[in-house]
Every structure is written in structure tokens, then in C-alpha cells.
């Protein structure tokens, strides 16, 4: 089994790069306050972690598809289990959150356990933000949102983002065993979503040597693991590497600001109800292309992690190798939505290495809609 640690050569290169970054100026790094339990079979520690947080009446959260898993793992809570809500949905619609909130209030819930991917994690965060209750996350995908103080909620077709330290789960239980049954296609899409966090962390305005180290290593871990998962889904070493990479990439997302890529994916997902992970996988090479000339050091590190000569092309090739959709048209975006999405994407200013310009952004979205290979936008 892989130990999911860098070899001495890659570590030396990464540390040298970090030292160079540090010499270029001062930086600030804010450490998130959470507890991580990582390994195989760690789900068995749910009861122990609930007790540590003082939870006596826990509500388990899942999607409809994962409610059986929620019941099985929730049994580990014993008499601390007070209910299960299986209504988590993609993009965290506020109506679903309000429904779950009614259960929290009616059953005297004093703790939340979110079991699943980004949809369930988003619901857990939304409830924790509204109630202040202790929150345990048990990821079953590689999305990485459990590491972040960020919540995207959708109301009336518009997805808005909030930032708060109250959104970070108190404990994250990473159990490699929970990811073994994740279908290869979903694993791949989820993994590309995680890679997107690290890509943007490398050119974030508040990037620092520590998050850059984590970002490069996270991309490398996922890039070597995901193709193995496609051919051997039960490969324990690949699953461990992928979950390790997702943790690192998610930690980057939680530590520094995101830019163009995440803005575009939030706009597209909210406007057209597109599948979250696939949207990230399709848009990522095009967002990287848009920023490539303005963030050359980030592109060098991304290419190195991918073992590619060019970062945007390497990301596009990885998407193709994983048999993921490469066109927004494939996942339900209408062609007549391109201009509307571009208008929405430039409406609010946000940090990005290259200025965000209306015509160029429309060209980027159009290229992603068609599935073009990376080219300068």
C-alpha cells in the first residue's frame, strides 16, 4: 500500500520552491481549527468523536442515495442517534436547509453528522452556521469542502457564497474504506474538483509557501491515484492516495482565497443546475489557460505535479484520460446561456491573476461549452 508521502526528490524540489517563494516577501497563514481522524476503518470512531464534542442527540445527514450508509454508520452513535435527514441536495438549496432545520428544532438536536460528499457537507455547514451546533463530517468523496470555511447556497437559481470560521466542521473523519465503493466515474469527477482547489490556491492573492506545498503535493497525489482507480477501483493504495490528496487540496481551499475558476463554476452550477464536480472538471483547463500568462510560477508547479510539460494541457489530458465529460453541452448547459453566464460572472469584482473581462470570459465559457482543447482566450 502507498504511504501517501512524497519521495525525497520531490520533497526537496518542493521545499526549494517554497524557500524561493518565502524570499520573495512576507506572507500570512491562518490555520483552521479542526480535528482530523484519517485512516482505514476510522468510521468506528464516530461515537468516540461525538462524545468528545459533548453530543447527546445527533442528527445524521445524507443524500437520498446514501441514507442506508447513514443508517449503518449512524448505528455507531448508539443512543446518541436522534434522527436521520436524507434530503441533502446539490448546490445546497435553502429550502432543503430549512426543512432540516425544522427537524433540528423539533427533536432537540445538539450535534450534526454529515456523511457523504459536497452536497451533504454543504447542508451540514448551512445548519451549523444557523444553529452553532458541533459538526462532524465524514466524507465519502474527494470534494474537499469539509476542509473549508466556505458555503455555497442556492436560492431562486442564484448561488451565493459565504465565508465564516463557524462553517468548518469540528471533526473530520476520513475513512479510506468509505471511498472504495465510490464508482470510478464519480471518483474521477470528485478528484478533479479537488484538484481545482489546489490549482487556484497556487495563484491566489494570499498564497503562501505552506499552502503552495500542500497544493502541489495534493495535485500530484490525485493525479497518480485517479487513473489507478479507473482501472482498479478497489486498489487500497490508490484510494488512500486520493483521499490524502483531497484532504490537502481541501485544506488549501480553506486557507486561501479562490479566483476565476470557482466563480465560474458557482455561476454555471447555480444558473443551470449543472452537476458540481463535472462542471469543475470541464472548466478547469480553460480557467488555467486564461490565467497561464499571468501566473507562470503556478503553472510550473501544476505541470510538475501532473508530470506534464504544460499545465492547462495536462489538466485537459487528465480529464480525457479519466473519461470525464469535456463539454458543458454534455452536462446540460444550453448554448444560449453562454452570454448570460458571462454577464453574471463579471458582475461582482473578485481577485484573479488576470483581469476578468467580459468578452474574454464569454470566449472562455464558449470554449468550455464546445469542449475545445486549451488555447489562449
Quote the pLDDT of residue 183.
95
Of 141-150, 216-225, 297-306, the poorest mean pLDDT is in: 141-150
**Which is higher by pLDDT, 163 or 301?**
301
Average pLDDT over residues 87-95: 93
Q: What is the CATH number of the domain that holds 244?
A: 1.20.1090.10
One domain for residues 272 and 318: yes
Pairing of strands 35-39, 58-61: unpaired
Summarised one tens digit per residue, pLDDT across range 167-176 is 999 999 999 9
Per-residue confidence (pLDDT) for residue 160, from 0 to 100: 87
Same domain for 285 and 243: yes
Check whether residue 162 and residue 192 sit in a common domain.
no
The mean per-residue pLDDT over the stretch 283-300 comes to 98
Domain count, the chain: 2
Q: Residue 118: what pLDDT?
A: 87
Residues 171 and 242 placed together within one structural domain of the fold: no
Looking at the fold, whether 165 and 191 belong to one and the same domain comes out as no
- Please say if the pLDDT value at position 294 is more than 60: yes
CB 163 within 8 A of CB 118: no
Please, which pLDDT band fits residue 25 given cuts at 50, 70 and 90?
low
Q: Are residues 139 and 55 in the same domain?
A: yes
Identify whether residues 161 and 214 lie together within a single domain. Answer: no
Residues facing 38 on adjacent strands: 174
Please check whether residues 236 and 281 belong to one and the same domain: yes
Mean pLDDT of 330-340: 97
Residue 276 lies in a domain: yes
- Co-location of 147 and 268 in the same domain: no
Tell which of 179, 205, 238 closes a domain: 179
Position 376 confidence tier, pLDDT thresholds 50, 70, 90: low
Mean pLDDT confidence for 250-271: 91
Which of these three, 147, 163, 179, is where a domain ends? 179
154: domain CATH number is: 3.40.50.1970
Q: Could you tell me if 138 and 175 are in contact, meaning their C-beta atoms sit under 8 angstroms apart?
A: yes
Q: Note whether 118 and 195 are same-domain residues.
A: no
Mean pLDDT to the nearest integer, 45-69: 97
Measured distance CA(303)–CA(313) in Å, rounded = 9
Do 54 and 97 have their domain in common?
yes
Give pLDDT, residue 143. 82
Q: Among 127, 159, 179, where does a domain finish?
A: 179
Reading the block at residue 220, the C-alpha cell is 500530484
Interval 216-239 mean pLDDT:
97
Look up the domain containing 168 and give its range: 35-179
Q: What is the pLDDT of residues 104-113, one digit of tens each?
A: 999 999 999 9
Q: Among candidates 157, 155, 156, 83, which has minimal Cα distance to 126?
A: 155
Q: pLDDT by residue (tens digit) across 189-211? A: 999 999 999 999 999 999 999 99
Close Cβ partners of 114 (under 8 Å, ≥ 6 residues apart): 61, 88, 120, 121, 123, 124, 125, 135, 136, 137, 138, 146, 169
List, in order, residues 6 or more apart from 260 with CB less than 8 Å away: 200, 287, 290, 291, 350, 352, 354, 356
Residue identified by cell 474538483 is 193
Grid cell digits, residue 171? 471533526
Q: Is residue 11 part of a domain?
A: no
Amino acid at each position: 500500500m502507498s504511504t501517501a508521502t512524497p519521495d525525497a526528490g520531490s520533497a526537496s524540489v518542493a521545499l526549494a520552491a517554497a524557500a524561493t517563494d518565502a524570499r520573495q516577501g512576507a506572507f500570512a497563514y491562518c490555520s483552521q481549527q479542526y480535528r482530523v481522524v484519517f485512516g482505514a476503518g476510522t468510521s468506528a470512531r464516530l461515537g468516540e468523536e461525538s462524545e468528545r464534542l459533548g453530543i447527546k442527540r445527533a442528527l445524521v445527514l445524507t443524500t437520498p442515495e446514501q441514507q442506508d450508509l447513514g443508517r449503518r454508520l449512524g448505528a455507531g452513535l448508539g443512543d446518541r442517534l436522534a434522527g436521520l435527514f436524507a434530503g441533502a441536495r446539490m448546490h445546497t438549496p435553502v429550502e432543503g436547509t430549512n426543512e432540516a432545520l425544522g427537524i433540528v428544532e423539533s427533536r432537540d438536536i445538539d450535534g450534526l453528522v454529515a456523511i457523504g460528499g459536497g452536497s451533504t457537507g454543504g447542508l451540514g455547514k448551512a445548519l451549523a452556521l444557523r444553529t452553532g451546533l458541533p459538526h462532524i463530517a465524514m466524507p465519502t468523496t474527494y470534494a474537499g469542502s469539509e476542509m473549508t470555511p466556505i458555503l455555497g447556497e442556492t436560492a431562486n437559481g442564484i448561488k451565493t457564497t459565504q465565508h465564516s470560521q463557524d462553517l468548518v466542521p469540528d471533526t473530520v473523519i476520513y475513512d479510506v474504506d468509505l471511498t472504495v465503493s465510490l464508482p470510478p466515474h464519480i471518483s474521477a469527477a470528485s478528484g478533479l474538483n479537488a484538484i481545482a482547489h489546489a490549482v487556484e490556491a497556487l495563484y491566489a492573492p494570499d498564497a503562501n509557501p505552506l499552502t503552495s506545498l500542500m497544493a502541489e503535493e495534493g495535485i500530484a497525489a490525485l493525479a497518480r491515484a485517479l487513473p489507478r482507480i479507473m482501472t482498479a477501483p478497489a486498489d487500497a493504495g490508490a484510494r488512500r492516495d486520493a483521499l490524502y490528496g483531497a484532504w490537502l487540496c481541501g485544506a488549501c481551499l480553506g486557507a486561501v482565497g479562490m479566483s476565476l475558476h470557482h466563480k465560474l463554476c458557482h455561476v454555471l452550477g447555480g444558473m443551470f443546475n449543472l452537476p458540481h464536480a463535472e462542471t469543475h472538471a470541464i472548466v478547469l483547463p480553460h480557467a488555467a489557460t486564461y490565467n497561464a500568462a499571468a501566473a507562470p510560477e503556478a503553472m510550473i508547479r501544476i505541470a510538475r505535479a501532473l508530470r506534464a510539460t504544460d499545465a492547462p494541457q495536462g489538466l485537459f489530458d487528465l480529464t480525457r484520460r479519466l473519461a470525464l465529460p469535456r463539454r458543458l453541452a454534455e452536462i446540460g448547459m444550453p448554448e444560449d446561456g453562454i452570454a448570460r453566464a458571462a454577464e453574471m460572472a463579471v458582475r461582482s469584482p473578485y481577485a484573479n491573476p488576470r483581469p476578468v473581462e467580459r468578452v474574454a470570459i464569454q470566449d472562455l465559457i464558449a470554449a468550455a461549452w464546445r469542449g475545445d482543447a486549451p488555447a489562449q482566450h
